[in-house]
Amino acid sequence: MKPKFIEKRVLCEVKKTFPDAQIMSYVLLKGGLVSPVYKVKIKNPSIYLAVKIYKSKNQKMIQTNNNVLSFLYEKDFPVPKIYSNNLFVKQGIVVMEFINGKNALDVYNKFSLKVKAKILLNIGKLLKRLHSLSIPDFWVHHKHEVRDIKDWLKWNKLRVRKYLEFAKENMNNKYYLFLKNEFSIFLKTLDKNIDFVPMHWDYHLSNILVSSEGNILGLFDFDNAMKGHNLADIGQAKYWLIFRSKDYENFKYFLKGYGLKMNSKNDVLIRGYFILHLMAVTRSIWKKRRLNWIIKEHCKILDKLIGDVK
């Protein structure tokens, strides 16, 4: 069950920043699968706020997100200002600045190629800017923290082993054989000569707000922020573009925006990280019947990749 919006409690939290405020209305925003976010209209002052409601068990994840947003806000990234965060017995409340804009995925799927290209160029540039920052001490994943390059290499070997075991036990043998070959090439290519950076680790269009022209207005959801290889963030972004938009052709604009010169090594590693994330999601939802449609989509993607290899 999702945490609930309790107006009296939310108002108490809002008043910590805006003492004379009164809540006029609120509406649930799109997204927020784990922690719902509401657009809240207040008076005194007359503004909109964004209010996130989260379960107490996610406190560590939320605090990381808040720390990252506050850090990036000071560096003029297009992120919301955090006003307050308070944990109650069963759930917590984050009050933050509301950024007005359109969901980038909605704009991407409805508008022209010109706008699509501009969005991808811009989000590529923004990710490069993020990756260029020095890694703060608080940039720590809530579950599988990776301290350095050595840890990163070790962790990805573990991921490959887990996903191959899963595929062998649960999936059609053609997928297992394909994954075995792909991951073998990936691990042979992955070495210690990588750019170890602060990663978003959930970088996709649904976590970004844009204008109708494709300019970035907001970046959100650093709940999974962790340290790692810059190409892993890129590979994951590619997965989301293909999964959400069925777009196999335009990722080149993202790479151009990022300023990444492609070569055989980068191509292998981005492809490997792309497949790793696909398998991570597949494994995590395998027994959830209501999400079986995602597994079917993943199999279609794997079928296309297998067909491209032949």
Q: Are 218 and 80 in contact (CB under 8 A)?
A: yes
Residue 89's pLDDT is what? 76
pLDDT in tens, 70-120: 999 999 999 999 999 998 878 999 999 999 999 999 999 999 999 999 999
In the prediction, which pLDDT does 148 show? Answer: 97
pLDDT at 142: 87
The model's pLDDT over 267-297, given as tens digits with 9 standing for 90+, comes to 999 999 999 999 999 999 999 999 999 999 9
**Which residue is associated with the tokens 């799109």?**
30
Q: Hey, CA dihedral for 297, 299, 305, 310, is it positive or negative?
A: negative
Exposure class string for 242-273: b at 16+ Cβ within 10 A, else e: bbeeeeeeebebbbbbbebeeeeeeebbbbbb
Three-class SS of the chain: CCCCCCHHHHHHHHCCCCCCCEEEEEEECCCCCCCCEEEEEEECCCEEEEEEEEEHHHHHHHHHHHHHHHHHHHCCCCCCCEEEEEECCCEEEEEEECCCCEEHHHHHHHCCHHHHHHHHHHHHHHHHHHHCCCCCCCCCCCCCCCCCHHHHHHHHHHHHHHHHHHHHHHCCHHHHHHHHHHHHHHHHHCCCCCCEEEECCCCCHHHEEECCCCCEEEECCCCCCEEEEHHHHHHHHHHHHHHHHCCCCCHHHHHHHHCCCCCHHHHHHHHHHHHHHHHHHHHHHCCCHHHHHHHHHHHHHHHHHHHHHC
58, 34 Cβ separation under 8 angstroms: yes
Q: What is the pLDDT of residue 310?
A: 57
Nearby residues of 209 by Cβ (< 8 Å), 6 or more positions away: 99, 100, 101, 102, 103, 104, 216, 217, 218, 219, 220
Instruction: Specify the pLDDT at position 32.
Output: 65
Comparing CA positions, the residue from 50, 44, 57 lying closest to residue 10 is 50
pLDDT for 33: 66
Question: What distance in Å separates the CA atoms of residue 308 and residue 310, rounded to the nearest whole number?
Answer: 6
- pLDDT on residue 50: 98
Is the dihedral angle over the CA atoms 236, 237, 243, 247 positive or is it negative?
Answer: negative
Give dist(CA 153, CA 133) in Å, integer.
21
Rounded alpha-carbon distances, angstroms, from residue 7 to 37, 41, 51, 60: 13, 12, 11, 24
- Regions of the chain where pLDDT drops below 70: 32-33, 309-310
The domains of the chain, with CATH numbers, are 7-97 (3.30.200.20), 102-309 (3.90.1200.10)
Q: How far is CA 93 from the centre of its chain?
A: 21
pTM exceeding the 0.85 threshold for the entire prediction: yes
